[in-house]
């Protein structure tokens, strides 16, 4: 009986968490420009974790060395370079010698272009739509599965 209750509780919790993720993804897909907070939440979901709030999620990403600055603004418009920097650090991309030397958004974007994660006719200063964020995070998820 205890086992059945535990299994049902787990399935209920998983269903609720999955529903929240699907709502977030659906809302994200509609956005013409996403915020840094949206990207952090989506990155946490991509890692297979449940978001715990912006500050806790930032700590998680800092612990993984994906973020390094002392402070981040949740409501700031996400630029392609910031996402590229997180992706390049996470996937340990080596497609740009300058990225390996300087670890900047500009060269992280170039490394993502070289690895065919981002389109070549984009800039690190471009704003990212919800669809574009989902596309990039889909590639990241695929690469994560291939490495593990």
- Write out the DSSP string of 31-67: -SS-BHHHHHHHHHHHTT-----HHHHHHHHHHTTS-
Domain of 73, in residue numbers: 2-147
Residue 80 CB-density burial (10 A; 0-12 exposed, 13-18 middle, 19+ buried): buried
Q: With a cut of 80, say whether residue 19 has pLDDT above it.
A: no
User: What does pLDDT average to over the chain?
Assistant: 88
Gap between the Cα atoms of 85 and 87, Å rounded = 5
The pLDDT tens digits of the residues spanning 104-116 come to: 999 999 999 999 9
Residues 6+ apart with CB under 8 A from 104: 85, 98
- pTM of the model as a whole: 0.85
Contact present, 96 and 111 (Cβ < 8 Å): yes
What pLDDT is recorded for position 5? 43
147 confidence band (pLDDT: 50, 70, 90): low
Considering its fold, how many domains does the chain have in total? Answer: 1
The predicted model gives 23-29 an average pLDDT of 88
Q: Are 76 and 82 in contact (CB under 8 A)?
A: no
């Amino acid at each position: 009986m205890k086992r059945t209750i535990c299994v049902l509780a787990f399935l209920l919790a998983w269903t609720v968490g999955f529903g929240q993720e699907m709502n977030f993804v659906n809302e994200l897909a509609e956005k013409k420009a996403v915020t840094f907070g949206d990207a952090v939440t989506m990155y946490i979901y991509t890692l297979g974790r449940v978001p715990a709030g912006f500050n806790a999620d930032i700590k998680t990403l800092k612990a993984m060395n994906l973020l390094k600055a002392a402070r981040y603004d949740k409501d700031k418009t996400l630029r392609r370079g910031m996402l590229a920097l997180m992706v390049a650090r996470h996937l340990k991309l080596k497609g740009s010698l300058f990225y390996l030397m300087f670890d900047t958004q500009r060269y992280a974007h170039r490394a993502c272009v070289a690895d065919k994660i981002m389109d070549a006719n984009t800039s690190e200063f471009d704003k990212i739509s919800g669809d574009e964020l989902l596309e990039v995070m889909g590639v990241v998820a695929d690469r994560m599965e291939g490495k593990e």
